Amino acid sequence: MTFPPASATAPMATDPDWWRGAVIYQIYPRSYQDSNGDGIGDLLGIVQRLPHVASLGVDAIWISPFFTSPMADFGYDVSDYYDVDPMFGTLADFDAVIDTAHHLGLKVMIDLVLSHSSEQNPWFIESRSSRDNPKADWYVWADPKPDGTPPNNWLSIFGGPAWQWEAKREQYYLHNFLTQQPDLNLHNPAVQDELLNVARFWLDRGVDGFRLDTVNFFFADQQLRDNPALPPERRNDTLAPRVNPYNHQDHVHSKNQPENLEFLRRFRALLSEYPGAAAVGEVGDAQRGMEILGEYTSGGDKLQMCYAFEFLGPDFLSAARVTETFDRLCETAPEGWACWAFSNHDVMRHGTRWDLPPAALRQYVTMMMCLRGSLCLYQGEELGLHEAEVAFDDLQDPYGIQFWPEFKGRDGCRTPMPWESQSLNAGFSMGRPWLPVAPDHYPLAVDAQEDDPGALLHHYRRAIQFRKVHDALKAGDQSPITLAGDVMYFRRSTGAERLFCAFNLSDRPGSIPAPAGVWDPIGAELNSASPMADGMIHLGPWQPCLMRRR
């Protein structure tokens, strides 16, 4: 199904606070829809499938990188920030995405990777050529120690040292990720200016905002001090797999630097020139995620929203963990604005990660729609896709290849979107897909679920609609969460609307006292329970209770 593009001269009505409480749908373009049969999803494929996204009722899309790239990290290594990689299409195709999305009432956010570029970026090619060229200081360079070893002990998140030797300069360059992803030196004002020019280019082209990749990695300590060891009791595998030595350091010097706050103010000032433009930052930190989120979104002069990894980690998301996360958010980021996600292109899909049965998948999205903050959904989660098993010979992700088999990488959450249950490659492509379609994803395809009124796809639509019709859920206040065993409950309020929300996050029944006052049950379409005559609310396994005060 193709939707005719709207005129590029007809902008959407602009609500400067549209992002507050918005539901954002992430599209990983390589795996969404292939329009030309080469096995790789592309921009015109996104155009073709945008009516599906609009049918969910979401507010915006976030498109993972589609810029020119050698694809060492599948687009997160950018060689030209001002153009589209030919495998995804052309700038004209991107314009068609913008026009079609806006015609359908969808905002468009794109992924910006500003902490590092590709080693094939002309900026780096020039920078590495000598110590005295015009871009010599555009990347983080350092002399070796007297014994020739790297300048400090910093580690790459992809494993091994974060430094790579460059013979032309007889220096090391910093790479917090792959060796093919050298870190830009944002201490240099010219680098900041150029990155802001990149953002301006895409804003002028019509985007409504950005997802900023690894936003807390933009600056490194200028003194290049060693990171201290992280005590074993503080280690966790929220950000990197347990087998990665990255978890053994406290990364106080290689990221999270205070200079980032002023750059984010500059970035926000640029956004302010474009009414309604907004940004969400990815905070990659396993120890101080909530604190950084608060710093980066407070005061109204930096980012509008950030997401950390509290709900993206491997440990089961119990009612106790949700409560603890919101308690820490209230303590460390009282002015901050969180963006919650259960899945994305970098982590195992949450249905597999937490081993959730179908009823639990419904409960978690219902709960998400009732929490204060903005929300990100990852393509395919509305279908209940579980992590795909990808054979070693089919792996594409260098991260998985590096740590196989203890960590199988990110390919399992990046397999193609299944559109048609009876078609070749589930309707994703007429050619051989870059990753195989998982056999157990065919029965979950969009067309099969459209024809099943009880399918998870329809529950996602109902849950998103429920959020949209209640102002208290989109941007209202939220009371502290009360925990009663496996049941958590809280209130949302704005203006004259007062809502009560309770969730049983377990496969066992649970009970809580009904709130005082007169409350009307709502959310029957979401399997909401009602108070009983005994003044209690009895919740079945994975059941919510949703009420509005009369």
Residue 213 known to be catalytic: yes
Sign, CA dihedral 395-399-404-410, equals negative
Strand partners, 161: 155
Dihedral pair phi/psi, residue 205, rounded to 5°: -80, -10
3-class DSSP assignment, residue 151: coil
Question: How many whole angstroms separate alpha carbon 438 and alpha carbon 435?
Answer: 9
Give me the DSSP letters along 402-460: HHTTTS--SGGGSSPPP--TTSGGGGS-SS--SSPPPGGGGGG-HHHHHT-TTSHHHHH
Within 10 A of 343 (CB to CB), how many other CB atoms are there? 24
**Active-site residue among 85, 213, 397, 411?**
213
548: which 2 tokens?
Answer: 């509005």
Nearest to 296 by CA among 240, 236, 218: 218
Residue type, 51: P
Map tokens 């950000």 to a residue: 239
Question: How many whole angstroms separate alpha carbon 466 and alpha carbon 2?
Answer: 28
The distance in angstroms from the start CA to the end CA of the chain is: 44
Sign, CA dihedral 227-232-238-243, equals positive
Contact call for residues 461 and 383 (beta carbons, < 8 A) = no
CA 376 from chain center: how many Å?
Answer: 6
Nearest to 512 by CA among 532, 492, 494: 532
409: left (phi over 0), alpha (psi -120 to 50) or beta: left
Q: Kind and range of the H or E element at 306?
A: strand 305-307
Q: Is the peptide bond before 241 cis (omega within 30 degrees of 0)?
A: no
Contact call for residues 492 and 370 (beta carbons, < 8 A) = yes
What single-letter DSSP state applies at residue 183?
A: B
**Active-site residue among 204, 233, 273, 520?**
273
Question: How many whole angstroms separate alpha carbon 263 and alpha carbon 29?
Answer: 29
Which residues have a catalytic role annotated?
Answer: 213, 273
